[in-house]
Each structure stands twice: as C-alpha cells, then as structure tokens.
Structure 1
Amino acid sequence: MTKQLHILFLASWYPNITNPLLGNFVQRHAQAIATINKVTVVHSVNSTKNKIEISNDDHFTTITNNSSNGVLGYYNKLKLIVFVIMYCRKNDVDIVHLNVAYPMGIIALALKYICNKKYVISENWSVYQHNQYLKKSYLFRFVNKLIFRNAAYILPVSAQMQMQLRNIAPHNKYEIISNVVDTNLFNYSPISYEQSTDTFKFIHISTLDDAAKNTTGIIHAVQLLRKLTPLKFELLIVAETSYAHLQALAQRLNITKYIRFEGPLIHSQVANRLANAHSHILFSNYEGMPCVMIEAMACGKPIIGTTVGGMPEIITPETGLLVTPKNTEMLANAMLQLMLNYNNYNTQHIRTFALNTFSTTAIANKFNCVYNQIV
C-alpha cells in the first residue's frame, strides 16, 4: 500500500464568498484527491481584509489570501509567496498541484527552485483552446511558458487541450485527467418520453458568456425547431448571471412559451434540474471539458454539444450528437433527431461511461498514479 501524500493545491481559480462558482471544478478535484491523500488548498480572493486565513473542514485545510487591489495588493501577494514557502518547509509537502497555471504558477516556480518541490499542472482554461492566447500580452505568454515548461507533469482535461498546450510546452510529460463529477449527487435519473403526449425537456446550464457559450444561438435554434416539428418541447436555461437580455430575445422571436429561465442555483439544485430533463445542450464556440456535460451524463442523459474542446471525446453516437459551432440550423435538426430517437439511447450505458471515466474514485486514482511516479 502506497503512503498517504501531502498535496499542496495551488488554485488560481477557486470558489469564494464573492464568486461561489469560480473554479468549482478545481474544488471538486481537491475533494476527490482528499479521499486518498492529505490536501492543503491555497487560493486568493479580492477582499479588504488584507490578511491570510487558515481554515479546516472534513476534506482539507484551506489557506485563503484576502487581498485588495493596488500597492497593498502587491504586498499581500509577495507575503503569500513567503507564507507558502514557510508552510511547505514546516508541513512536509510532497507534491505541489497547480490548478490553472496563471497566476498561482508563480508560487509553484518559487517552490520548485527554493524548496525543491516538484509540481504538476491541471489545466482547464479555454484561453488555450482559442486564438485568445495569441492576443494575450507578451509578458503573460512568457510567464505561462516558464510555468508549463518547469512542470513535472501537465494534466490537461482533454486531448484537444493537450494538443494546444504542446505548442507551449512540447517536451513535458502529459497525462489527460478530466474533470470530476459527484456521481452520488448526479445520480441515474432516467425519465420516459412518449412523443404523442409528453413534452420533451431540453436544458442548458452555463455562465451565459455569449462569446463562449452562444446561448443566443440556442434560442434561435428553438425558433427553428418549432417550425420543424409539431412535437411538444421546452428549453430550461439555468444561468449564473442575469438573463434579462435573453428573455427579451425570446419575446422578440415570439417563443416565450418554449423557453423558461432560472438561476443562479446551488449545486444540488442543478442536479435536480438535470434529473428532470431529457437532454442537455451546449452550443459553445470554445470549451475545455465542460463539467455540466459530464454531470448530465452521470444522470444518464444524452447530450448535444459542439465539435470543440473535450466534447468530441465524450459525445459519440451512443451518448449524444455533435454539431458545428454557430450552425443554428444544424443544432435545431440535432434537437429534433434527439427527440425522435430518444428512446433508442441506452441511458444506463451513458451513466456507466460517466462512472468509469469521471467519478471521484476514477479521477482520484488517476491523480494518485501520477503523484507516485514523481515523488
């Protein structure tokens, strides 16, 4: 039996009081790893407290750097680097696990060269999947290159992410480890569908960042779909932010009876809404490995997604349908095909795929295998 390791989890994104949904996939990775190893999470939050706080719960220790902007903020960031170096020396940290390379990767570099601590990187930022990266400043790209090239392992969430990161760090070791889903919370929830009597329930859950998620495109697809079929259907849009502009669009298109809006919701409420839907839709222009899609699969739902990010790796003819980004007509036809063929999907197969690929046990074991290769 391998010994329990102490993992220092550096999180560039992490849920906090001001933004409880920020980097929630990072928190889930930490919780998964904590089922096997000791975990300490380090993250920063914009706050006027200007102090470092340490808290403990059932899962792990959390070090929160409360830091304001301006000159004092820069001082607090330097203070955090010193604090983490001292913490590593006193608490026998075995491995540093960096989550989202920038900006916490600066601390990972310091720990490597000052404390001789190897680090791995989990990356899910879609900036590397899109030409946004080339639009970033030279300094940002230079620092990112240093961070990635000094990692003992790079752990992208998808094969496409790995391909993009190899442009930055071509000679590093890579292992694809996806996002994790709580398969107890997002449990198997099959619901029947009879075309002649039932309303088919689509759901879309996102930040509503239209440049990435193209939720307006989904609404236009609904307008097309109602012309394609007399079958009854509805779309529930669950949003983390204001959706008034989308309500106005639905009203202009005269499709308000087909679309409902809700949110923001806590995680258990999201699980409930997915359980009561037939299918989840993402119409993204770019993505990493979207958590909501694997959560829908854990519920046994066939999904519709675009040919970007990690979605082509999980959407097969057995699990759903792929469409081209921005092709609204193709999306409307895919929605119709899913309605017509819904009862041909093996929802238990979809659930089993999610269990084997994205469950807490599966992901924790994959991380632990990497850790034990480098300690």
Structure 2
Amino acid sequence: MHILIIPSFLFNNKDKTLGSFFMDQARALKSLGHKVSIIYCDTYSVKYYSDFINYEEEEVSNVEGIEIYRTRKFCPFKHGNGVYGQKDSFANTILKLYDKYFSKNKPDIIHAHCALWGGYAAYKLSKKINVPYIITEHSTLYMLYPNVLNDKMNILLNKVFSNAKNVVCVSQGLKELIQRYCAKIDVIGNVIDCSMFSEHNKPVNRSTFEFLTVCYMKNEGQLVKKGIDILIAAMGEIVKEYPSCKLALGGSGDAVELVKKWADEYGVSENITYLGPLSREEVASQMSNCDCFVLPSRYETFGVVYIEAMACGKPVIATKTGGPDAFVNEQNGLLIEKEDVEALTHAMKHMLNNHYQYNSKTISDYVYENFSMESIGNKLIGLYKS
C-alpha cells in the first residue's frame, strides 16, 4: 500500500523535533512493509520573512526509507483573520508538489494530520485525483482558541471533516470537541518508538530524587501553556521538606527567562537544572535517568511526553486535560486537577515517599502493548483497508 501523508507542520533545520509524532507514525507504517511518502509546504508570514529568504530545507529527501517532498511559500496574510489566510497558499502548493512528483505514482490513500491545513489540502487533492483521505486531529485549536472558529471557519471545517473517509482523534477529550463536525470518529493515540524510549530501571534514592519536565515554554500573558508556573510554585513547597530534591527542565521558548524569574522568587533556583532544547535521543536519555516525569499542562490533546516517559518505565504526574486522562492510572502515575498547586505538591510528595509502589516493567509494558509502532501501525492499516 502507498500512503501519502500531508502534515500541517513538520520538523526543520531549526526545530528538529517539530511534528515528531507524524514522523514516528510514518516510520511505523514503513516498518510494516508499506510505501510511505510525505508532502509538505513551509509557509512564512511577513514576521518570518528572513526565515523564508534563508530557507535551507531540501525539496527532496529520504529519511529511513520515507520519501519527503517539501517547498516553501511566502504567505503575507498567514495570520490574517486567525489562521484562515494560510489555507489556499498551503493547499495550492501541495497540489503543485503532487503534480511535480506524484503524477505517475498515485497513492492508495491520503492521510492528513490536523484539519488546518493538512486536512484542507487533502480534501482538495482527493477531489483532484479521486483518492480517499482520512484525517488525524491533534490540534489544541479547539481547546485554546475557539474564538477563531467563526462561521466561515466552521463551514470550511465541516466540509473538510465530512468529506474524509474516516476521522481519527488522538484522545477522547479531543473527540468530544470536534463531534459537531462529524458523527463517526475513531480514537487512536500517538505512536511511541519503543526502541528509543525503553525501560531503564535504576535505583531510586529520596535524597537525590529528580523530577523531569520537557516542554516548549511559550509565554502566554505571564502564563505558560504547559503549567510551568504551577510546577515552580509546587517546587517552592517541596524544597521546604526535601531541600535536596531536584527538577531538570528541558526545552526552549520565549518564557524561559520568566521561568528563571519565578524560580528565584520561590527560592528554588539551586534545585533546578536547565537543559535547554533537546534532541529526541537526549529526551530519551533524560527520561531514562529521572525518577518521575511531571508536567502540569493546562491543555493537552494527547501528551506524547508522558507516554515517552512511561515507555522508559517512569511514573508520571499529569493533569486532567482530556489527553492523559485515558492512559494515566494508579499503576503508572497520578492524575490531578489543573491549576492546583496544592494538588501538584501533594502528588510530588507522594512520588518522593512511595516511588517503590511503581513497577518500571509494568509501566513500560503498558506503553508497548498500546502505543508501540506495531500496535498503532496495525490499527491504522485496519482503517486504510476499510
């Protein structure tokens, strides 16, 4: 089977982990013996014109046997009227790339990731070449920016979703948000590379206990989508009782300096190690060597990092945001209310005092059975064949 994937965002030379779950899914399908191609358009608004001029991505590349075709498009109105201004630039460029590289190599199915705008491009391409498409929705748009979804956007989303042969959401919570656009939706989580993220059972010592967080820290009006302000406040309480407790904080973003300011204010600067941006391999290494992964997100459609940490055999602390709710349980971690410093503090103390209750192999095996490349890949092939 030839599967053509259209992602709505993809890794680049500046951000090598962007859309990593799209790539992992492509690798899963490839590992099951299928031909997989990716077609993508990098769009740049006026704000990022210098990046457009200095574009260095290869138009044709091959990553582990997966063909990737991409190009750039200057889109001055990308952010006009929410995200609506990008749709035609993205979709029309996808059609041109298809004509250039696939006119004699028609795929069996098109798989778009996110309706905006991979799904819209898939809708237009499907009509042109008479090949069915499915959409996997991952976007936090429906949670974070419902005001963007005006009448014009909703009409377009109805068209994109209703014409898809199948719609998949990565969590039950996200499914409930987009059910107004289509009746039948399957839930299939993201895939994890269990060869990279694998069990590492190391002795746990409360006096050297280390929590780990990995996320993109974006400043959203003195708050961070991933709830790092809540985490720093909780650390302020934790060190009063456990002064040697450590927090390793991986990731970049425009809120890093703000986070450092909070750490100073709560008196935990000496307890925090800033790891900076990490490659996938570095993330796996950090997860293998931590004692517990914690991320008090305000919004998660799925939460790949929790699953990656669990694949390494680590218990996790997550928030009830609609994503982690489906896979965090008493055997692998704790699920708490978001925006609750007291609950997070209590959960972190529980991990410090009861880490022996969690079996690293049990945690890791759960991930392999439910989110490995083989597991998720076979679920997708079943959808394609239907």
Determine if the TM-score, normalized by the shorter chain, exceeds 0.5.
yes
Q: Compute the displacement of 1:325 (Å).
A: 0.5
Letter in 1 for 2:245: F
Change (3 A) 1:75 1:266: closer
Is the contact made by 2:41 and 2:94 (CA closer than 8 Å) also made in structure 1? no
SS at match of 1:103: helix
1:103 to 99, 117, 120: 117
Change (3 A) 1:64 1:344: same
**In structure 2, what is the Cα distance between the partners aligned to 1:81 and 1:98?**
14
Q: Compute the displacement of 1:337 (Å).
A: 0.7
**In structure 2, what is the Cα distance between the partners aligned to 1:76 and 1:132?**
21
Q: Could you give the per-residue CA deviations for residues 194-236 of structure 1, whole angstroms, max 9, x where no partner exists? A: 33xx311100110013442111110001011223x24631111
Is the contact made by 1:67 and 1:76 (CA closer than 8 Å) also made in structure 2? yes
1:223 to 208, 220, 236: 236
**TM-score of the aligned structures, taking structure 2 as reference length:** 0.88
Letter in 1 for 2:75: N
Which position in structure 2 is the counterpart of 1:200? 209
Is the contact made by 1:50 and 1:76 (CA closer than 8 Å) also made in structure 2? no
SS at match of 1:287: coil
Letter in 1 for 2:351: L
Which position in structure 1 is the counterpart of 2:17? 21
Q: Compute the displacement of 1:24 (Å).
A: 1.5
1:181 to 188, 192, 212: 192
Change (3 A) 1:343 1:52: closer
1:299 to 296, 301, 312: 312
**TM-score of the aligned structures, taking structure 1 as reference length:** 0.90
Within-5 A mapping of 1:1-375: 5-36=1-32, 37-45=34-42, 46=44, 47-48=52-53, 53-70=59-76, 78-84=92-98, 87-128=101-142, 130=143, 132-169=145-182, 171-172=183-184, 174-195=185-206, 198-209=207-218, 210-227=223-240, 229-230=241-242, 232-242=244-254, 243-373=256-386
Please identify, of 349-358 and 240-249, the stretch whose mean Cα deviation from structure 2 is larger: 240-249
Q: Compute the displacement of 1:52 (Å).
A: 8.8
Letter in 2 for 1:9: I
Q: Compute the displacement of 1:182 (Å).
A: 1.1
Letter in 2 for 1:175: D
Q: Compute the displacement of 1:175 (Å).
A: 2.0
Is the contact made by 2:8 and 2:113 (CA closer than 8 Å) also made in structure 1? yes
Letter in 1 for 2:35: K
**In structure 1, what is the Cα distance between the partners aligned to 2:64 and 2:297?**
36
Q: Compute the displacement of 1:53 (Å).
A: 2.2
Letter in 1 for 2:352: M
**In structure 2, what is the Cα distance between the partners aligned to 1:51 and 1:205?**
26
SS at match of 1:113: helix
Give the aligned length.
363
Is the contact made by 1:98 and 1:119 (CA closer than 8 Å) also made in structure 2? yes
Letter in 1 for 2:74: S
SS at match of 1:34: helix
Please identify, of 107-116 and 47-56, the stretch whose mean Cα deviation from structure 2 is larger: 47-56
Which position in structure 1 is the counterpart of 2:48? none
Is the contact made by 2:135 and 2:164 (CA closer than 8 Å) also made in structure 1? yes
Q: CA RMSD in A?
A: 2.3
Change (3 A) 1:17 1:50: closer
**In structure 1, what is the Cα distance between the partners aligned to 2:124 and 2:177?**
25
SS at match of 2:225: helix
Please identify, of 48-57 and 18-27, the stretch whose mean Cα deviation from structure 2 is larger: 48-57
Q: Could you give the per-residue CA deviations for residues 292-343 of structure 1, whole angstroms, max 9, x where no partner exists? A: 1100000000000001122111111111001110001110010001111100
Letter in 2 for 1:38: K
Letter in 2 for 1:42: I
Q: Compute the displacement of 1:70 (Å).
A: 3.5
Is the contact made by 1:52 and 1:66 (CA closer than 8 Å) also made in structure 2? no
Change (3 A) 1:180 1:267: same
Q: Compute the displacement of 1:88 (Å).
A: 4.6
Q: Compute the displacement of 1:19 (Å).
A: 3.2
Change (3 A) 1:150 1:76: closer
> Structure 2 regions of 5+ residues with no counterpart?
45-51, 78-85
Letter in 2 for 1:78: N
Change (3 A) 1:247 1:91: same
Letter in 2 for 1:241: G
> Structure 1 regions of 5+ residues with no counterpart?
none
